[in-house]
Amino acid sequence: MVLLGPAEKKELEAILLAQLTAYWNSHGAQGILAPGVFVALDAKGRPSSRSPPRGALGCVEVRTLFTALCHLNDEGPAAFTRENLTPLAEEAATALAAQVNRLSPD
């Protein structure tokens, strides 16, 4: 049984994009790619872009996502722009959905 299917994942992507954009607007590229910035999904279905809540159903550190890694390794955090937030949100939603879907019994 899939808990987060394609429709739910798309909805999660949109929510994460809004939250990551707000975080980027407040903290900039250096802040969003800093160690300890996570996206997490709690038991009530609320995504978060701060430290992982206890008992999170899924959690991933932003800087471990491929889009973030490319900027950290190749171009540096200063090259991370608003346009990079969309693929970052997609990757985060995919990672969270995979973690949540593993919780479901087969």
Name residues whose C-beta falls within 8 Å of residue 90's C-beta, 6 or more positions apart in sequence. 13
Residue pair 66/49 in contact (Cβ under 8 Å)? The answer is: no
For the chain, the domains span: 6-101
The values of phi and psi at residue 21, to 5°, are -65, -45
Radius of gyration of the chain (CA): 13
- pLDDT of 74: 67
Strands of 58-61's sheet, edge to edge? 47-48, 38-41, 58-61
When the pLDDT of each residue in the chain is averaged and rounded to a whole number, the result is 84
Of 22-26, 50-54, 76-80, the poorest mean pLDDT is in 50-54
Using a 10 angstrom Cβ sphere, with 0-12 exposed, 13-18 middle and 19 or more buried, the burial of residue 35 is exposed
Handedness of CA 95, 67, 15, 48 (dihedral sign): positive
Of 3-7, 37-41, 86-90, the poorest mean pLDDT is in 3-7
Confidence of residue 54 (pLDDT cuts 50, 70, 90): confident
pLDDT at 92 over 90: yes
Overall average pLDDT of the 41-62 stretch: 77
What are the tens digits of pLDDT across the range 68-78? 888 776 667 77
